[in-house]
Every structure is written in C-alpha cells, then in structure tokens.
C-alpha cells in the first residue's frame, strides 16, 4: 500500500498538479492522467500513464498546456 505521506509529495510530472488515489492508480487532479501503481510503487512516467476519456494525446492534457504556457 502506498502511504499518504508519499502521496502528498507526488505531483503530476507534466504540470505539477496534486494527485489523488483512485483504486490501484494515482490520478492527476488537473489533467486526469492515470498513473498505475504496481507492487506499491507508482509509475510516474506520463508516457506510460493512461489518458482520461476523450483525450487523444498527451499534448491535449491540461497539464501539458500548463507546462507549455510556463515554458514560453
């Protein structure tokens, strides 16, 4: 089981938004990307995370747009 104090310091690597626990995944509260937890270790690679319904690509995520906006 993943600990709450670990969850508190984990953020979405795309837009640094907080995550919430949802079953066996961590879900970004902003863009909805689902990071799977395997053997108690969250896989924080957004390339391997599951896109939320209705989103076709990582570039369309709210966190991606946020990251692009702050970079420019």
Instruction: Determine the interface stretch with Zn ion among 1-9, 17-25, 37-45, 50-58 (rule: CB under 5 A).
Output: 17-25
HSE-CB at 25 with a 13 A cutoff on CA atoms is: 17
H or E stretch covering 68: helix 62-71
String of contacts with Zn ion for each residue 25-44, x by CB under 5 A: ---x-xx-------------
- Applying CB under 5 A, among 19, 26, 49, 63 the residue interacting with Zn ion is 63
Structure tokens given for 40: 């108690």
In this structure, are residues 52 and 31 in contact, taking their beta carbons and an 8 Å threshold?
yes
- Which residues of this protein are in contact with Zn ion, per CB under 5 A? 12, 14-15, 17, 28, 30-31, 63
């Amino acid at each position: 089981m993943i600990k709450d104090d670990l969850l508190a310091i984990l953020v979405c690597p795309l837009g640094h938004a907080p995550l919430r626990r949802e079953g066996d995944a961590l879900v970004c509260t902003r863009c909805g990307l689902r990071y799977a937890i395997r053997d108690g270790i969250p896989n924080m690679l957004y390339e391997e995370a599951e896109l939320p319904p209705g989103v076709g690509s990582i570039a369309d995520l709210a966190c991606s747009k946020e990251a692009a906006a702050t970079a420019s």
